[in-house]
Amino acid sequence: METQSTSHEQLVVLFVIFFFTFSSTRCFIEVESHPLPENHAAFFIFGDSFLDAGNNNYINTTTLDQANFWPYGQTHFRYPTGRFSDGRLVSDFIAEFAKLPLIPPFLQPGFHQYHNGVNFASAGAGALSETFHGSVIELKAQIKYFKEVETWLKRKLWKAEGGLILSKAVYLFSIGTNDYMSLFLTNSPFLKSHSISEYVELVIGNLTTSIKQVHDSGGRKFGFMNLPPMGCSPGLRVAGGDADGRCLEEFGAYANEHNQRLVKLLQDLEKQLKGFKYSLYDFSSSLRQRMENPLKYGLKEGREACCGTGRFRGVFSCGGRRRVKEFESCRNPNEYVFWDSYHLTESLHKELAREMWSGSFNSHSSLKYLFQTT
C-alpha cells in the first residue's frame, strides 16, 4: 500500500509539473503568434468620399453615393473599386508611406484582420445623422463599427496587446463637407432654421463626441483634414447658377467657419485629453492654390472636371450610371485637379498625401511624425 501511495503521489507531481510547463509554453506561443513589429502603427480611417475605399459598395444606397463602375479606378487598379477617383486616394498613399498594405473597407466581405487598421469612411457621410440619412454610413455608425473592431482586437489578441495596437495607431478624419453641401443640394430645412454659427456648432459637436470616443478606446494620435473649398468644385459652380461659373460663396461661408472652429477644437482637446497628439492638414489652402494656379503644379486644368458632362463637366454623370447618363472623359486625368464633378484625380491625392506626410500645409505635427512617434 505504501508503495502504491508513493507511486500515486509521484504521478500527481509529474502531472502538475507537466501541466504548468505546457501551460507556460502555450501562453508563450499565443503571445508570440501575434508579435508587434517595432514602431508598428495601425491606420484607422473615418470620413466621406475623399477617403471611402469601397464601403458604399456593400450598403443599400444609390449610384449617387457609389463609384463601383467604370471609368472609376481606371488609372491604377484598372477596375472600379468604389473609390471616387480614377485611382488611389490620400489614405492609400499614406498607408504606403507608413509601410502598410492598402487599408481595406470595413464592410468588405471576408475581411476580419484588423492588425493594420481598417477604413470606415462612407461616401456622402457627414457628422450629422440627418446628412443624406439612410443612404450612407454616418459618423456615429462609423464609430460604432470601430468599437466592434476594438472588441475584436482585445478578444482575439491579449487585451494588453490589443490595447497597444489602439494606442499606437493613427486615426485619420475627413468629415463635414457633406453636412454643408447637403444644405444646397437638397434644399434642406436646416438652411432656413439655423444660422451658420448654429449649424457649424452642431457639426463640430458631433465630431468632438466621436474624437472623444476614440480617445476613450485608447486612441492618442489623430490626423485631420479641414474642409476644402467645394464651393469652387465643378458641381457647385454649376449648381450655383452663376453665368460666369463663379464659386458658390455661400458654401464658403460655412466651410470657413467650420475650419476656424476645428483649429480651436483641436487646441482645446490637446489640453483636455491625456496624450492627445494631432496633425491638421490645410486641405482648403492646398486645393485652392492648385485650382487657381494649375500650371504652377504641373497641371493643365483646375476648374473643369475630367469626367462628366455639361459646363465644366460639372453635371455629376461620370460613368453614365446616375440620373444623367451622358458623360465624357478626358484622355489624361493626371493633368486635372478634379476627376469628376466633386472629387479629385489620383495625381492630386498623391500630392496631398505627400504634403500631409511631410508636414507642409500642416499645423502642428506631420503624419510621418505621428506614425513614427510612440
Distance CA 258, CA 227 (A): 8
* Residues known to be catalytic: 49, 340, 343
Q: What is the DSSP letter of 33?
A: T
Instruction: Give one DSSP letter per residue of 268-290, joined into a string.
Output: HHHHHSTT-EEEEE-HHHHHHHH
What is residue 252's three-state secondary structure?
helix
Distance CA 112, CA 371 (A): 23
- The CA-atom distances, in angstroms, between 371 and each of 23, 46, 52, 241, 275 are 36, 17, 21, 44, 14
In 3-state terms, what secondary structure has residue 314? coil
Measured between its terminal Cα atoms, the distance across the chain in Å is 64
What cell numbers appear for 212 in the block? 472623444
Cα–chain center distance at 278: 15
CB-based contact 315:341 (threshold 8 Å): yes
Cell (9 digits) for 41: 502603427
DSSP-based three-state secondary structure for 114 = coil
CA dist 46 and 146 (Å) reads 9
CA atoms of 354 and 358, how far apart (whole Å): 6
**DSSP output for 289-327:** HHHH-GGGGT-SEEEEESEEBSGGG-BS-TTS-SS----
Residues 6+ apart with CB under 8 A from 327: 307, 308, 309, 313, 315, 317, 318, 319, 320
Beta carbons of 337 and 294 less than 8 angstroms apart: yes
CA 178 to chain centre: 14
Contacts 24+ apart (CB under 8 A), 185-189: 185/239, 186/132, 188/130
CA pair distance 296, 20, nearest whole angstrom: 69
